[in-house]
Amino acid sequence: MAIIYPDVSRTFSEYLLLPNLTTKDCFPTNVNLTVPVVKYSKGTKTPMKLNIPIVSAIMQSVSNDTLAIALAKCGGLSFIYGSQPIENQAEMVKKVKKHKSGFVVSDSNVSVDHTLKDVVEIKERTGHSTIAVTENGTANGKLLGIVTGRDYRLTRDSLDKKVADFMTPFSKLIVGQLGITLSEANDLIWEYKLNSLPIIDKDQNLHYLVFRKDYDDHKQNPDQLMDPQKRLMVGAGINTRDYSERVPSLIDAEVDILCVDSSDGYTEYQRDTIEYIKTNFPGVKVGGGNVVDREGFLYLVESGADFVKVGIGGGSICITREQKGIGRGQASAVIEVAKARDEYCEKTGVYIPICSDGGIVHDYHIVLALAMGADFVMMGRYFARFDESPNKKVKRGNSYVKEYWGEGSNRARNWQRYDLGENSALKFEEGVDSYVPYAGKLKDNLDVTLSKIRSTMSSCGAKSIKQLQETARITLVSSTSLIEGGAHDVILKENEY
Ligand code: IMP
C-alpha cells in the first residue's frame, strides 16, 4: 500500500511568527542578512555567501543580465535563465561580469540615417532620453554624436528629419577615454556641466555612458555582491540534457555558480548532471533541485549538490499540482528538508544550504521561510514586476502591468525543465502566461522588503538568520484569525491622499 503521510501539506500563509524578546542591540539596522549559498564543513567559512537572502528565478521573464546587475548591486544573486541558446546565455553572464558600476552600456542607439520618429520610438520603449549615434547604430560602434531631448522639438520638427541633421555631433562632445576611473569621469561631468559622458576607445568606438545621476552608485549600494576581483556575481541555470556543452561555455564566461533547473530534481538525470560537473570541473559550485522531502534532498546531496532548491507546485504561474497531482505545500516542504539538512550536518559535519523556491506572496513569507530553515529564497513573480526584468510593460485599463510567464508554459518552450527522459515536445503545460502589476525600480521595492525583513527579525529577537532559525517561534493560524490579521470592521478611506 502507498505511504500516506499523516501531516497536512501546509503553506506559508497558514503560519505566523511570535515575537521574542527584542534586546536593545537588536534594532533593524543591526540585523545581519548574510547567508551561505554553498556547502561547507562546520567550523569553517562558507566559500560563497549572499549579502541578502534572496535570489531571482531561473526564468525567461525574470533573470536576464539587466536584472542580474540590479540585484547583485543590492546584495542578491540572479540565475540567468537557461532556456535560451548557450551562446546567448553565456553572453548575458559576460555582460554581468563586465559591468562596471557607473559605466553603462548604451541600450538606446541609432545611426545618422535614422529619423526623429525612430528616436521617439526608442525613447518610449526604453524610457531613456540619451541616445547614442554610432556609425552602425550599435552600442559599440564608432561614436558620431549624441541625441538628447534638447536636440529636437516635437512640436516643430518633422518626424522624418534625419538624425544627422539634429544630433549633437562628435566634434561638440566632451568624451572620456576608455580606462578612465569613475571618479575622473565624474570630475568631467561636473566641470563641463554634462548629463552624460560617453567613454570611447582610441578608435572612437563607444564603450559606455557615464550618467550624472549614477554619481553615487557605489555609495548607494554598500551591500553589492562581488567576487574577489570586485566584479558583480552571477549564477546560471542549466538543464539535464545539453550540460556537457552549456557548462563549459558558462565557465568560460566566468559564471560564479550554476543551478540545475528542473521541476522535479529527484531523478537520475539530475545526478548525472551534477556528477559530470563535479568530475570535470571540481571547483565549480552547482545547486540541485527541486525536491520537497528528505529522500530527494539526500539523493541530491549524495550526488554532490552544493545547495538544494526546495519547492514543487507553489510558484505563482505554476499549474503542476493541477496537471500532475505532484507537489507539496511550500512550508511543509521547507520544514522537512531543513530537518533532514540539520540531521545530515549533525552526522557528517557538512552544512548544505537550502533555497525555498516559489510561492512567496507577502514579504513576511520570506522571514517565515528563513525561520523554517531555508537559507535563502528564490522569487519569480516578485522580480517580474520591476523595470529591470526582461518582459514587456503594457497598459491595461488605467494601470501598467508586466508580462510574466512560466517556464512550463507553451510560450517558454522549456521542455528540458519538465523532461523525464523521453523526447522533446511539451505534451501539456505546467505553467501559465500572465500579467503582474508593474512596480517600478528593483532597488526601491527591495529596500522596502528588506526593511520589513529586518524589522520582523528584530521583533523575533534575531540579529542574524542563523539566530532566527534557532530561536524563532512559529504558530499555525486558523482561517478566522487570518481575517483578524488585515484591516477589519472599519470603513477604509480610499484615495484620500
Ligand atoms: P513565484 O516566485 O511564486 O512566481 O515562483 C517562481 C518559481 O516557480 C520558479 O523559481 C520556478 O521554480 C517555478 N516555475 C517557473 N515556471 C514554472 C512553470 O511554468 N510551472 C511550474 N513552476 C514554475
Taking the model in full, what pTM does it have?
0.84
Q: What is the pLDDT of residues 42-68, one digit of tens each?
A: 999 889 999 999 999 999 999 999 999
Assess whether pLDDT exceeds 60 at residue 496.
Answer: no
Cβ contacts of 266 within 8 Å, gap of 6 or more: 291, 295, 296, 299, 300
Stronger pLDDT, 480 or 262, i.e. the higher one: 262
Residue 478: pLDDT over 70? yes
Best mutation site among 77, 291, 317 for ligand 1, i.e. most ligand atoms within 8 A of its Cβ? Answer: 317
399 vs 492, more confident:
399
Indicate the DSSP class of residue 205. Answer: B
CA dist., res. 406 & res. 429, Å (int)? 9
Q: Does ligand 1 have an atom closer than 6 angstroms to the CB of 359?
A: yes
Least confident of 13-27, 290-304, 412-426: 412-426
Nearest CA to 326 out of 339, 315, 340, 337 is that of 315
Tell me if 287 CB under 6 Å of ligand 1: no
- Confidence at residue 490, expressed as pLDDT on a 0 to 100 scale: 87
Which residue's alpha carbon is nearest to atom 8 within ligand 1? 315
85 with 129: CB under 8 angstroms?
no
Whether the Cβ atoms of residue 83 and residue 57 lie closer than 8 Å to each other: no
| Geometric angle at alpha carbon 167, from 166 and 170, rounded to 5° | 140
Tell me if 76 CB under 6 Å of ligand 1: no
Q: What is the pLDDT of residues 150-166, one digit of tens each?
A: 999 999 999 999 999 99
Q: What pLDDT shows up at residue 427?
A: 77
pLDDT of residue 392: 85
Does 378 sit in the ligand 1 pocket, CB within 6 Å?
A: yes
- Which atom of ligand 1 approaches the CA of 409 most closely? 19
Residue 495 preceded by cis peptide, ω within 30: no
Mean pLDDT of 220-248: 93
Q: What is the DSSP letter of 208?
A: E
pLDDT band per the 50, 70, 90 thresholds, residue 217: low
Over the stretch 167-210, which tens digit does the pLDDT of each residue have?
999 999 999 999 998 889 989 999 999 999 999 999 999 999 99
CB < 8 Å & 24+ apart, contacts of 125-129: 127/387
pLDDT for the residue 178? 93
Q: What is the pLDDT of residues 377-399, one digit of tens each?
A: 999 999 999 999 998 899 999 99
Residues marked active site are found at: 318, 417
Exposed/middle/buried for residue 191 (C-beta within 10 Å: 0-12, 13-18, 19+): exposed
Distance, in Å, from the CA atom of 119 to the CA atom of 37, rounded to the nearest integer, reads: 44
Q: What mean pLDDT is reported for the chain?
A: 93
Q: How confident is the model at residue 424 (pLDDT cuts 50, 70, 90)?
A: low
